[in-house]
Amino acid sequence: MKLFTYSPGGVHPEEEKLTKDKPFVSLSPPAIAVIPLSQHTGASNAPTVKVGDYVKIGSVLGTSPQFVSAPVHSSVSGEVIAIEERVVPAGNKIQSIIIKNDFKEEWVELNSLRSLEGVKPEELVKIIREAGIVGLGGAAFPTSVKLTPPKLKAIDTLIANGAECELYLTTDHRTMLEFPDKVIDGLLIEMEIVSAEKGIIAVENNKIDAAEMFENRIRERDIKNVEVVLVKTKYPQGGEKQLVKAILKKEIPSGGLPLDVGVIVQNVGTLKAVAEAVFEGRPLVERGVTVSGTAVSKPGNYIVRIGTPVSDIIDALGLSKKLRKLIFGGPMTGIAQATIDAPVVKGTSGILMFGEEAFDMSPEEESPCIRCASCIDSCPMGLMPTLIDYAWRRQDLKLSEKLKATDCIECGVCSYVCPSNRHLTENIKKAKQGVIKQNKIEAAKQAAFEKLKAQQEKKRAEKEAQK
Amino acid sequence: MKAYMIDLMVTAAPHVRDRRKTSHIMRDVLISLTPATIGSLVIFSFGHPLGVIIVSVISSVIAEYIGNFFFRKKSTLNDLSAGVTGLLLALVLPPSSPYWMVVIGAFTGVWLGKIIFGGIGSNPFNPALVGRAVLMVSWPTFMTQWIKPGFIMTISSATPIDSVTTATPLGIVKLQGYSTLIGYFGSRANLYKALFLGNVGGSLGETSALLLLIGGIYLLVRKVIDWRIPVSYIGTVFVLSWLFGRDPIFSILAGGLFLGAFFMATDYSSSPITPKGKIFYGVFIGVLTALIRQFGPYPEGVMFSIIIGNAFVPYFDKMVPHIYGVFQKKEVKE
């Protein structure tokens, strides 16, 4: 197996993969499931059930006619007791369906395919869409949309992303070890859909066991067009853009998508979900979640129903010390929670719990930038974080844009390396949002101006005609 | 569901940070200067030179403290940067510098070089070199008085060292030519050996190339400094000296080049932050050093080259790195 990596930039912190040897264990379903109506990036869903309805596991709770969306399904059977706004991991409140679990575990009827023979790509995309599958790596972008590239853009390569470069998280690692065939099936299905010639499974070289597992399965199943590659253990190796550059030596153009260079990158967990949707008919109602950190008594990898409030998980696994920091996602990009109410959603790859030591892990107080250039040397996008930070502090959106703040992938590396504790990632995110907002306003102004001009010209033409 | 006392801390990602902080970096710089510092004391036989180092460090720290107090800023003594400035200043002064002059150098360096620009990270010039430059133009006699290395003296004669003055190797080359210098040392190999170990006249910390190299390599290994500036700087001096018909090996070993290249030109706030900028900056000050040595009135040009180079840093900072996915070249303008 060849070893690939991107350059320049990146860091290699302590990996802290405490749970990599712990097989998946199913967590009991919640007594009350809180299922946010929209758990993806894109248009929000409207509810398809009302209070008092009886739902089964897999019943559709909300959909949207919009293209960039994915329906949500019930993860328990029982009665809808409320439809109200509830806190989600992102910190805001979203319309959610609250279901009282009757623990009968009744499923809706599942329709599955035996093989892909004679099935049209559009039908497969439809199955994936109806199963509510989104990117399970964290971004939660609807998978069906990724698999419907504009006609002109031919896809030649599909990359299964098993890099899992985030610290602590081991969900993808366990998925690869325990369900390698499902991951390969998912990859083959997606290659079929976009008629890609080549499939690549990329695994970081701290998970050689997973890579070997895939090699063996591919050899035994005699699959010719799928290759396993190792990528160097380095953060953020699993970033879509970094992975494409590492393996294919191509750069995705600024503001573009992997499909601009003929590639689709899919998380291995997503591929497993795709295989389950197609061959078992199962919608996305549960997912693998790593629960780790220093404050949880029983860290491990768990199969958790979507909609399980994190308080239920704390009840089930116990705390070893006073909880001071609760993070959804990994420590580099995850979101710190203010409450323990948020439920597990489709994009939840990990839940981390820390005690008082979280203060030392990420001190708050900033000191002046000493121009050491660590952030510049380690930025995987080649940006100059400290300058964007200064631009943002001066509210200089023009300079932020010139410095390409909008190209930031928000990986957190600049803040991580900064010896002065400066909140670089946080400020660059703000600068990025500021620039995007500004550009939208400018575009709207421009459009309004054009409209006005057109109207005036029309009036003038009418007057001329009257004369 | 059990009831929990919820007291959660909400901060922005990332939730982990590298353990290395500013004070650790400065501590590494101090550690890297230890061989050269101890070496200088041995070479110039303790006594007065030790006083120069202590006075310089203490006055720099006091200057920083007063400066912060005056500008109502939070004390920045914990980051150790004032100590680094003081030690570097001592190492670029002649061993026989009077203490009052050292105090003036430290105060002007810290205040004019650093505090008035906003303290750590904001100084456009290297504070230690600002201090030295002020002393150089104010008391040129004291600043060009070089004593003979002490540990040669103890072997060859019993004369008190303060009374024996000499010239730096570069000074001898300027006034009398390279062959005369080799004559003093017997052979070229002896000269190299003396420059390597530090048996020559010069500023306190600049004489031993070996000890400075050890410190420089330590900084490179600890990733405190980037290889680009020292390599391009020393490399440029080497090539240009050779083109000027000088002995290139002598040219890089003599004078303050190693001290300047590893510890002065790499000063974070007064050097470029972009990788490409660092290389061009090193080449630029290398050219200046070689030109001053060859054509200027001074035998040595490291200090002035670096200070002039510092002034051009904003220019070198515009040599931006390649941004992923951005293909047409765009210059960043402020």
Q: Where do we find the tokens 């023009």?
A: A398
Q: How far apart are CA A362 and CA B77, in angstroms?
A: 22
Question: What pLDDT does B153 receive?
Answer: 41
Strand partners of residue A291: A300, A351
- Pairing state of beta strands A78-87 and B146-147? unpaired
Contact A331 B334 (CB under 8 A): no
Question: Hey, is the C-beta of B158 within 8 angstroms of any chain A C-beta?
Answer: no
Query: Are residues B168 and B299 in contact, defined by beta-carbon separation less than 8 angstroms?
Result: yes
Question: Which of B15, B18, B21 is facing A336, going by the closest CB pair?
Answer: B15
Average pLDDT over residues A186-198: 92
| Residues of B whose CB is below 8 A from A326 | 8
Q: How far is B329 from chain A (nearest CA, A)?
A: 12
Q: How far apart are CA A158 and CA B199, in angstroms?
A: 66
| Residues of B whose CB is below 8 A from A334 | 13, 15
Q: How far apart are CA A399 and CA A397, in angstroms?
A: 5
The pLDDT tens digits of the residues spanning A377-391 come to 999 999 999 999 999
Query: Are residues A32 and A99 in contact, defined by beta-carbon separation less than 8 angstroms?
Result: yes
Contact A245 B324 (CB under 8 A): yes
Q: How far is A426 from chain B (nearest CA, A)?
A: 6
Q: Which of B2, B15, B117 to mutate to test the interface with A (most CBs of A within 10 A)?
A: B15
> Pick the residue with more confidence: A113 or B97?
B97
Looking at every residue in chain A, the average pLDDT score rounds to: 92
| Residues of B whose CB is below 8 A from A417 | 18
Question: Which of A361, A362, A420 is facing B22, going by the closest CB pair?
Answer: A420
Question: What pLDDT does A353 receive?
Answer: 94
Closest residue, chain A, to B271 (C-alpha): A371
The pLDDT tens digits of the residues spanning B98-117 come to 999 999 999 999 999 999 99
| Residues of A whose CB is below 8 A from B334 | 399
Which of these CATH numbers, 3.90.110.10, 3.40.50.1820, 3.40.50.11540, 1.10.287.130, describes A3-105+112-280? Answer: 3.40.50.11540
Q: How far is B230 from chain A (nearest CA, A)?
A: 15
pLDDT of A172 higher than 90: yes
> Pick the residue with more confidence: A23 or A119?
A23
Query: Are residues A209 and A175 in contact, defined by beta-carbon separation less than 8 angstroms?
Result: no
pLDDT of A421 higher than 80: yes
Question: Hey, is the C-beta of B322 within 8 angstroms of any chain A C-beta?
Answer: yes
pLDDT band at B127 (very low <50, low <70, confident <90, very high): very high
Token digits for A206?
A: 């701290």
pTM across the whole model: 0.89
A245-249, A342-346, A445-449, B157-161, range with the lowest pLDDT: B157-161
The pLDDT tens digits of the residues spanning B257-312 come to 999 999 999 999 999 999 999 999 999 999 999 999 999 888 888 999 999 999 99
Question: Hey, is the C-beta of B64 within 8 angstroms of any chain A C-beta?
Answer: no
Contact B14 A322 (CB under 8 A): no
| Residues of B whose CB is below 8 A from A415 | 13-14, 17
Q: How far apart are CA B251 and CA B170, in angstroms?
A: 8
Closest residue, chain B, to A334 (C-alpha): B13
Question: Which of B9, B14, B121 is facing A368, going by the closest CB pair?
Answer: B121
Question: What pLDDT does B5 receive?
Answer: 66
pLDDT of A362 higher than 90: no
Q: How far apart are CA A164 and CA B165, in angstroms?
A: 66
This complex has an ipTM of 0.86
Percent of chain A with pLDDT over 90: 79
CATH number of A286-361: 3.10.20.600
Q: How far is A375 from chain B (nearest CA, A)?
A: 10
Q: How far is A250 from chain B (nearest CA, A)?
A: 9
Question: Which of A245, A335, A372 is facing B13, going by the closest CB pair?
Answer: A335
> Cα(first)–Cα(last) distance of chain A, in Å?
81
Average pLDDT over residues B179-189: 85
The pLDDT tens digits of the residues spanning A319-341 come to 998 899 999 999 999 999 999 99
Question: Hey, is the C-beta of B328 within 8 angstroms of any chain A C-beta?
Answer: no
pLDDT of A415 higher than 50: yes
The pLDDT tens digits of the residues spanning B67-86 come to 888 888 777 777 888 999 99
Question: Which of A325, A362, A399 is facing B14, going by the closest CB pair?
Answer: A362
- A286-361 matches A3-105+112-280 in CATH topology: no
Token digits for B31?
A: 């550690």
Percent of chain B with pLDDT over 70: 91
Question: What pLDDT does B2 receive?
Answer: 55
- Helix (H), strand (E), coil (C) string for A286-299: EEEEEEECCCECCC
pLDDT of B334 higher than 80: no
Q: Where do we find the tokens 């004669």?
A: B157
The pLDDT tens digits of the residues spanning B228-266 come to 999 999 999 999 999 998 999 999 998 899 999 999 999
**φ and ψ at residue A45, rounded to 5 degrees:** -90, 155
> Pick the residue with more confidence: B154 or A125?
A125
Average pLDDT over residues A217-226: 93
DSSP B74: P
> Pick the residue with more confidence: B159 or A365?
A365
Q: Which of A101, A370, A383, A388 to mutate to test the interface with B (most CBs of B within 10 A)?
A: A370
Q: Which of A32, A322, A367 to mutate to test the interface with B (most CBs of B within 10 A)?
A: A367
pLDDT of B152 higher than 70: no
Task: Identify the three-state secondary structure at position A32.
Answer: strand
- For chains A and B, CB pairs below 8 A equal 183
Nearest to B207 by CA among B2, B41, B14, B332: B41
The pLDDT tens digits of the residues spanning A244-299 come to 999 999 999 998 889 889 999 999 999 999 999 999 999 999 999 999 999 999 99
Average pLDDT over residues A37-56: 92
Average pLDDT over residues B125-150: 88
| Residues of B whose CB is below 8 A from A352 | 15
pLDDT of B330 higher than 80: no
| Residues of B whose CB is below 8 A from A368 | 76, 118-122
Closest residue, chain B, to A383 (C-alpha): B323
pLDDT band at B3 (very low <50, low <70, confident <90, very high): low
Question: Which of A367, A415, A417 is facing B22, going by the closest CB pair?
Answer: A367
Question: Hey, is the C-beta of B119 within 8 angstroms of any chain A C-beta?
Answer: yes
Contact B4 A381 (CB under 8 A): no
Residue ranges covered by each domain of chain A: 3-105+112-280, 286-361, 367-467
Nearest to A280 by CA among A128, A178, A142: A128
Average pLDDT over residues A129-147: 91
Token digits for A372?
A: 């050491």
Looking at every residue in chain B, the average pLDDT score rounds to: 87
Closest residue, chain A, to B270 (C-alpha): A371
Q: How far apart are CA B203 and CA B97, in angstroms?
A: 10
Task: Identify the three-state secondary structure at position A231.
Answer: strand
